[in-house]
Chain A
Amino acid sequence: MSALTCDRLTVAYAPGARPVVNDVSLGFATGRFTALVGPNGCGKSTLIKAIMGFLPHVTGDIALGGAALSGIPRRELARRIAYLPQENHCPDYISLAELVELGGYARYSLFGGPDERDRSLFADALATVALEGLAARPVNALSGGQRQRAWIAMILAQDTDIILLDEPVNHLDVHFQYSILDLLRALTRRGKTIVAVLHDLNLTAAFADDVVMMRDGRIFAQGPTADTISAESVRDVFDFDADVFARGGRLVCLPAHAPQAPA
């Protein structure tokens, strides 16, 4: 079952310009972790931004739970879909606690604020990303890895069923890449739908339930990860010969030709 679907979606950055996303139809399965992969400039981020309604020249239909997404007001949409952009900037002098509290904005009334349930949700979100002791710190005083986890805590505080993330583990060391993707997988067990743009095929193979492979704005292949990532599909999408094999029930993807040993 798909809560979020795109039907014949085409996106351009100007009217009449070459489409960046071209005639894409897909559904993101509820309660699963879907990875969007593909070479640079293939339209992965653009697809996510188009779903969020940030791009003006979009044709085709996007539906959330069967209703047209364009007809849903921003506040209501924010209670159902959360989004983590690729680059995030926090102004100076905003504390981690304040950032996380802003994540719950869509649930607050005009002059009201977070209630008891919200506050325990914020504490959970901070504990989930292992930042619970740092709530009073300014976000910009955190390390790079902590900052990325802070943004993820803000997303968790938004408490939506669907979460879209644009390269959530970029700039992170391997420890946090694993722990954040592990966390996203754990969320799917609570019924949340996760869609993430990922660069690394091995991370995709290790953590994603489903994968959508894109090239030149079109979907090249989509389906369960194990059935979709293969030497053929990787060659066709990324233009390189890969060796894809299973090890302990998981897929591993390596260059087919070993690099020349250093002299």
Chain B
Amino acid sequence: MNGRRYPAMAGILAIAIIAFIANLSFGASAMSPRSVVTALFAFDPDNYDHFVVFYQRLPRALIAVFLGAVMACGGAVLQGLTRNPLASPGILGVSSGAMLFVVIAAFLLDVPSQGQGLAAILGGFFGFLSCLLVTRLIVSSKEPHGLAFILSGAVLSMLHGAIANTIMLSSPSRRSDFLSWATGNINHVYVDRLRDFWWLGALGLVMLLAMARPLTLITLGRDKAASAGVDVTRITWLSIGAVVVSVSVAVAICGPIGFVGLVTPHIVRPLVGASFRLALPANAVLGAAICLLADLAARSAFAPHVLNTGIMMDLLGGIVFALIVKRYYLSASERGAWR
């Protein structure tokens, strides 16, 4: 198995590079991969194609890369920490919390665009902590385990989403500005937030990578990890903090897009394994590739109409969610480790 991991990693990287070039090549006007590469590495400001690639398509592709990397790593870490295959930033309340706080900041407090990004980060923490709180009210166990956690997250996500929608509906004049973002869309509207906050997401990913070994140990069980030298409480909260911050930044940029975070870890595990030292980089790269391809599909599948990336992802995500439930919960007797 180990022998196949590095080729698998190389394969994922190749897919991501092809997806990146393809994402930049196709659009209202298609252009050859060669001119895309020249635009990137030998930019000619007088060439119109180069201009389109560099100032219109590249920001969008970078947003897709950021979103995919952050969401997939967040999903992998949350699935490991909760030992639950259904965990993801979208389901544990992080995305909806961030969305709710952005809407509150924009509609009720008239916070300018930059401040809305900070509101998203606060909201991400609010969403996750409220999910944790509701779980503790339902079950008395101290560990965020199992279905109760997932169900609390799902219910709270709906609640936060509903409140956010209510606030938006109450202000028809500004609603249309936010509608596309609120359904989740890879769009260059908020590229300034990527420019302002990308480093926070990158910092989160570097932190997670630095914690790859202790995080893997925690997936063996908290006592086992502690006996091997892991400060379980500190690693748990540091990694959740890193996930919440980086995911909230992604939500501030593209709205709540959940599917990547849920599904990418499930594709990565059979390919490069469950040890986070390899799995985290693989998740980042594959998550980016999936978002680039989804964005491409959303733009070209129903051309000339452009579909929201979030809607595209939700369609796929619903199906995958059902498949995961079937695999892990309807045949639970065979899979003791996930209980």
Contact = CB atoms under 8 A, between A and B. Distances in A.
Real binding pair? yes
Interface of A: 49, 52-54, 73-79, 81-83, 85, 88-95, 97-99, 102-103, 105-106, 108, 110-111, 135-138, 140, 158
Contact of B231 (A74, A79, A92, A102): A74
B75 to A, nearest CB: 15
B229 A74 contact: yes
Indicate the size class of the contact surface on chain B.
20 to 34
Interface of B: 1-3, 80, 83, 210, 213-214, 216-217, 219-221, 223-224, 226-231, 269-270, 273-275, 336-338
Given A93-B270, A108-B213, A83 B2 contact: no
Contact of B1 (A88, A106, A136): A136
Contact of A95 (B1, B223, B229): B1
Q: Is the interface of B mostly helix, strand, loop or mixed?
A: helix
A95 B2 contact: yes
A52 B226 contact: yes
Contact of A85 (B1, B216, B221, B338): B221
Contacts of A137: 1
Contacts, number: 95
Nearest 5 interchain pairs by C-beta: A78-B229, A106-B229, A83-B227, A93-B274, A75-B229
Nearest to B212: A111
B336 A89 contact: yes
Given A52-B227, A91-B337, A92-B337, A105 B213 contact: yes
Contact of A77 (B210, B217, B221, B229): B229
B273 A93 contact: yes
Contacts of A77: 229
Given A92-B274, A94-B275, A138 B1 contact: yes
- Most-contacted residue by chain B among A73, A91, A105 (CB, 10 A): A91
Contact of A102 (B2, B83, B220, B269): B220
A248 B230 CA distance: 46
Given A54-B223, A98-B273, 18 more contacts: A49-B223, A52-B223, A52-B227, A54-B226, A79-B229, A82-B228, A83-B223, A83-B227, A91-B83, A91-B220, A92-B274, A94-B275, A95-B275, A98-B2, A102-B213, A102-B220, A102-B275, A110-B210
Contacts of A81: 227
A105 B217 contact: yes
A91 B226 CA distance: 17
A54 B224 CA distance: 10
A249 B250 CA distance: 71
Contacts of B1: 93, 95, 136-138
10 contacts: A52-B226, A78-B228, A89-B336, A90-B337, A93-B270, A93-B274, A95-B2, A102-B220, A102-B275, A105-B214
